[in-house]
A and B are shown apart, each in its own frame.
Chain A
Amino acid sequence: MKVLKVPARTIAVFVLPCLVLYVCLVFMPIAVSFYTGLLQWDGITGAKFVGLANFKTMFTSDPIFWPAVRHTLLYAVASMLEIPLCLWMAIMLSRHVKKGNTLVSIYFTPVILSIVIIGQLWKTIYNPVSAGGMLNGVLVALGLDSWTHNWLTEPKIAMFALYFVSLWQYFGYHLLIQYTGVQNIPDEIYEAAKIDGADGFKADLHITLPLIVPIFKVSLVLAFIGSLQAFELVMVMTGGGPAHATDVISTHMYNSSFLSLKYGYGSAIAAFLVILCLICTVIINTVMGKLERKFS
């Protein structure tokens, strides 16, 4: 690798501004947030240092916290399960469709739309028949009246209705990543494989899959971390309701800080979320790293 012959000072000129900004805008707030998590503070009047009491409440006596964690993790897992499907679609598209790019662009459209718009759109689709909801309307038209639901307001269903919207929105995103990955595998390799007698599924198993593992990993990490931080969609569509049935970690954090005025407690939840993200990233990286080594 060629090394740029530039004095360290010059490099510093370019790197430092970003580094300083990064430390100030990312690490300092995280540190401050961890500290705030040790306070009993309404965000306005004086704060009281209470040590780990907030964390204790969070883990032991907050009836909303663990369900919120469960909702979040379920969401993260669901969004990871979506990715093999994206990969399969990507392989099919690149193999059987001539103008795959156009289709991928179409699938990508929801990603461009703002989450608020997506949320409003799906809220309307999920509406009860009386309010002109399309989904229920179609079900009634098909004679499946018993299948209709108040998708966003029945506590047992609402969370899944939200998952679906999010998976739908990001399908195109991951499809695009996987599709690009598949396209980047040189055709010569497949031709060589064909000569050796490996075609179709066999070629995918021995060529596409191993070569796509790094791309696959990128998708997984993005999907997982993205869903751990899920916030806007839930806020727009249900606000965490009805009665916390769709609360995720970030909405619980927001509600605690700004509505219940327990700023310190909200910060404790934020700290938990940061640690959870870190742990999950490490796990995914380790597992995928092992897979990569195995295949290469």
Chain B
Amino acid sequence: MATGKRFKTLSIALTAAMALSLTACGNSNNNEGNTSSSSASPSSGSTSGGDSGKKVTITFQNIYPDPTTPNYKMVRQLVSQYEKEHPNIHIELDTLNTDQQKVKLKTQAASKEIPDITMVNPAAQMKPFVDAGLLAPLNDVIDKGGLKDTYQAGLLDYYSFNGNVYALPDGNNIEVVFYNKDLFQQAGISAPPTTFDEFLQDVKTLKSKGITPLAIGEKDSWTGSFLFMNILLRTNGGPGFLKDVVDGKKTFNDPAFVEAVDRFQDLVQAGAFPDGATSIDANAGGNIFKSGKAAMWIIGTWETGAIDASSVAGKVGAFQFPTVDGKGDPNEFMLAPGSAFAISANSEHLQETKDFLNYFTLNLPKTQFDLKNAVGIGQKVDGDLKAAGYSDLAITVAGLFNQVKGGDLSFDNTMNPATSQVHLSSIQNLFVQKVDSAQVAKEHQSAYESNK
């Protein structure tokens, strides 16, 4: 009997130990999902503080993981400032790279547990979150302290649904062609091209001199699409092609689309892109340009600061995407109205979170300006770029902003996700094999129709 009892005690002890070790596992898993953020799981943090009414933890999911970038510094600077002024508030950073964050947010959304502050993309991409009632309307936030007026005209529209603003953008960028002046000179090209034929000719010249004409990392398929959409913006004679498709006025079989595919294939055939482009991810693709190995990089102006911080600083200029076959206006750009900060409608500390976001966005322009990262942000900035020591490139880019007459949003910001994915892999395919452009158009149209 005595042994039986001892055995029982032992077994209970063992079970307890097992249970403990299991919880330990659970914790470590949580941290893993959290990547770089320093401690504890985000959700448990926000629930624990609230009830006492004193210490409040706000989880801030963000997409600025690279410590060398100004954005990384900006977030930390503003957060520590705020924490100093509000000792009872702790801001927990959940820092992820863009792709990871997109997936994490979707899984969190599926269980209706999104972080207090998270980041979303405009228009079609954030619509499901709004429809599901996951995001809190921010009208009171933008009314406070005159925040609304700091945003560039029309920018908040991309984040508004049914008259409510649901997210506050971090930037407002355009797509331009960055080019390495030294490499252009080496190839004997005197001026940036203004027509697509000239552009194509320059590509061939560069290629013949052994210089990679266009940097790209097409493993992340949005990069190729972003470039392709620029051509479509021209062949369509102006913005609105995708909107016309949605409104039923055009189909993807439209000549403008087919021509854009053909012109894009001309680029591929001319050897414009690096070998094996589809196995290079977007960051590595950018590095081809930033390390001086490629002559041009067609990308959003958000890279301006990063280019200035790279080894090609001082050698880089920027110009508008050329007209294609005489069509389009160079001052119409692919627009990238940023990623944006949104607040969870189910946040346990809704008011505190709103107060913080208000503070954060009100102080963002000045902080960015001081970090020399004010080109391409979504809010108006006071101050003279030149006097503040901004680079010639930054000033050129700021000049291009002043010429913007309008343009299009990227494909996946405009179309539903399923159609977008078909589009993205269809464009990726153009990099690796020659395809009948009419077939590409048909593929798009049937994907659109079956996913309407």
> Residues of A at under 8 Å CB distance from B?
6, 10, 13-14, 17, 21, 42-46, 61, 123, 126-131, 150, 152-155, 237-239, 241-245, 255, 258-263
Contacts and interface: CB of A to CB of B under 8 A. Distances in A.
B59 to A, nearest CB: 19
A123 B421 CA distance: 24
B11 A154 contact: no
Contact of B110 (A126, A241, A244, A263): A263
A44 B418 CA distance: 14
Contacts of B132: 44-46
A23 to B, nearest CB: 15
A43 B131 CA distance: 12
Interface of B: 7-8, 11-12, 14-15, 18-19, 22, 102-103, 106-107, 109-110, 128-129, 131-132, 134, 212, 218-219, 221, 274-279, 416-418, 420-421, 425-426, 428-429, 431-433, 450
28 contacts: A10-B8, A13-B15, A43-B107, A43-B110, A44-B106, A44-B109, A46-B132, A129-B275, A130-B212, A131-B275, A152-B276, A152-B279, A153-B276, A238-B278, A241-B219, A241-B221, A242-B428, A242-B431, A243-B426, A243-B428, A243-B429, A243-B432, A244-B425, A258-B106, A258-B107, A259-B421, A260-B417, A261-B417
- Output the residue of B134, B277, B278 with the most chain A CB within 10 A: B278
A128 to B, nearest CB: 4
A177 B274 CA distance: 43
A251 to B, nearest CB: 12
B11 A13 contact: yes
A17 to B, nearest CB: 6
Contacts of A14: 11, 14-15
Nearest to B19: A17
Given A130-B274, A152-B279, A241-B278, A44 B134 contact: yes
Given A242-B431, A242-B432, A259 B417 contact: yes
A241 B218 CA distance: 10
A244 B18 CA distance: 44
A243 B15 CA distance: 51
A17 B432 contact: no
Contacts of B425: 241, 243-244
Nearest to A154: B432
B418 A260 contact: yes
B128 A45 contact: yes
SS class of chain A's interface: helix, strand, loop or mixed?
A: loop
Contacts of B276: 127-128, 131, 150, 152-153
B11 A10 contact: yes
B106 A242 contact: no
B292 to A, nearest CB: 14
A46 B133 CA distance: 10
A93 B22 CA distance: 41
A260 B11 CA distance: 49
Given A44-B110, A123-B279, A131-B275, A6 B7 contact: yes
A143 to B, nearest CB: 20
Contacts of A131: 274-276
Nearest to A46: B132
Given A17-B19, A241-B278, A242-B428, A43 B219 contact: no
A130 B219 CA distance: 18
Contacts of B11: 10, 13-14
A21 B26 CA distance: 12
Contact of A128 (B128, B275, B429): B275
A241 B428 contact: yes
Nearest to B433: A155
B106 A43 contact: yes
Nearest to B10: A10
A14 B7 CA distance: 12
Given A45-B128, A153-B277, A242-B278, A17 B429 contact: no
A123 B428 CA distance: 18
Contact of A150 (B103, B275, B420, B429): B275
B131 A45 contact: yes
A211 B246 CA distance: 67
A116 to B, nearest CB: 13
Given A242-B428, A258-B106, A260-B418, A17 B18 contact: yes
A262 B418 contact: yes
- Output the residue of B14, B212, B274, B417 with the most chain A CB within 10 A: B417
B219 A238 contact: yes
A16 to B, nearest CB: 9
A239 B18 CA distance: 38
Nearest to B421: A260
